[in-house]
Structures are given as C-alpha cells and as structure tokens.
C-alpha cells in the first residue's frame, strides 16, 4: 500500500473516528466516578474547593497535555496516540515500549509498519499493566487495612503518597534534562526557604517562565 493511498486514508480516518469516540467515553467514565460517589454519599464538594485543588495541578497538566500531543503523536502514530492518551503513563511506559518494539522490528515510526507495530505494542502494554494492577489489588486487599490504619508503622508514609508521586514524576524529567531544570528548581527552592507558604499554583507558572528563559539562554550559548 503506497503512502497517501485511499486505503491508508480510510484507515487513518477510522482511527480518528474510533479514537475520538473512545476518548469521549473514557472521559465520561472517569468523570462519572467522583459524581457517583458524591451522589451515593450525598456529599458534594464546594466549587471553591474544587477550583483551589485544580489551581495547584492544572497549570502543569494542561501545559504538559498540549506539549505531549505535539511531541508524541508523530512517534506513536494515530492508533497508538489514542491508546496512549486514554491509558496514560506515556513517557515512562507507552513511548519506550513503542520505540523498543519499532526498533526490534526495524521499522520507522512514520511508516505504515511503524504505525501498526506502535499500536500493537501499546495495546499489549496497556493490557499487561491492567492485569498487574488488578493482581496487586487482589493480593494486597486483605492486608491493606492493617498497613494503613492510624496505629500502623506505615501510616506516616501513606500520608506522603501524593508528594512522593509528584516527586518521582518530576525526578524523571529533571534527570533527563538536568541542564534546563537545575536553575528553575534551585530558584524555586530558595523562594520556598524564604516564603514557604507560597501555593504551588503560583510556583508552577513562575517555574515555567524561568525554565523557558533559561532554556533559551542555554540554546543561544549552544550548551544544549
């Protein structure tokens, strides 16, 4: 099948159609979980509290979402793109899996073969991840109440799950691009030392601006 042929166009159009449908369904299902819990318990969060919570993470995730779509789509292909953005964990799992599969098959990411290999590898990765998570839930369910109870020695660790999660995600980016990240992280740490009450919703935009300016300086100096 030649590139740009009717068959390829039909395939791409179908992928976009099915992909959009499944992404909308996934968004509906994910959004339904907190709504159903609130409806069942008759406890609805105040909009001010929701906005306050979103302000801490939204600037990071919305910016990352736009950047990832532009950066990852040419590599993952159409089918792989929709699968990855529905199942998540792209940079740490889906992207390396797709790249390894295409490298093993000796195909290019922009080719028709690469499109197929990428989609299959990401689908298999998603299935394996789901099975592992399900197995861990079943295995750890009986002992979870004991290690999360207030008198458990592990209780303090479970109170730091969210900071540890974001720290681990940030560390992977910092280690890969340490030249760009070292100055923003250093300056933000200094700000927190002297003004520890600054909310993360304020720190994130400041860090983004510092990182952009610093990256531009590094690029002009030909250090990156």
pTM: predicted TM-score of the whole model, two decimal places: 0.63
- CA neighbor of 111 nearest in space, from 139, 154, 75: 75
How many Å apart are CA 207 and CA 170, to the nearest integer? 13
Residue bearing tokens 């906005």: 51
Q: Which residues of 120-156 are buried (b: 16+ CB within 10 A; e: fewer)?
A: bbbeebbeebeeeeeeeeeeeeeeeeeeeeeeeeeee
- Tens-of-pLDDT digits for all 224 residues of the chain? 454 555 556 888 888 899 999 999 999 999 999 899 999 999 888 888 888 878 777 776 777 778 788 888 888 999 999 999 888 888 778 988 898 999 999 998 888 899 999 999 999 999 999 999 999 889 988 888 888 788 888 888 887 877 787 777 778 778 888 899 899 999 989 998 988 788 766 777 788 889 889 999 999 998 88
Q: Which positions ≥6 away from 59 have C-beta within 8 Å?
A: 201, 204, 205, 208
Q: Which positions ≥6 away from 200 have C-beta within 8 Å?
A: 56, 57
């Amino acid at each position: 099948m030649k590139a740009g042929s009717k068959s390829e166009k039909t395939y791409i159009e179908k992928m976009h159609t099915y992909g959009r449908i499944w992404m909308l369904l996934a968004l509906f299902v994910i959004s339904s979980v907190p709504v159903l819990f609130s409806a069942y318990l008759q406890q609805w969060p105040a909009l001010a509290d929701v906005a306050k919570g979103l302000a801490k993470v939204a600037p990071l995730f919305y910016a990352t979402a736009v950047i990832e779509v532009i950066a990852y789509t040419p590599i993952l292909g159409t089918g792989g793109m929709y699968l990855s953005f529905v199942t998540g964990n792209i940079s740490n799992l889906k992207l390396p899996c797709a790249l390894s599969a295409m490298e093993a098959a000796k195909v290019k990411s922009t080719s028709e073969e690469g499109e197929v290999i990428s989609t299959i590898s990401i689908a298999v990765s998603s299935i394996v991840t789901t099975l592992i998570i399900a197995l861990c839930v079943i295995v750890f369910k009986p002992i979870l109440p004991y290690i999360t109870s207030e008198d458990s020695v592990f209780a303090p660790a479970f109170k730091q799950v969210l900071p540890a999660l974001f720290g681990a995600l940030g560390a992977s980016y910092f280690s890969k691009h340490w030249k760009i990240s070292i100055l923003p992280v250093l300056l933000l740490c200094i700000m927190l030392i002297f003004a520890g009450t600054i909310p993360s919703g304020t720190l994130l935009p400041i860090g983004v601006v510092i990182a952009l300016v610093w990256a531009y300086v590094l690029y002009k100096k030909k250090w990156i």
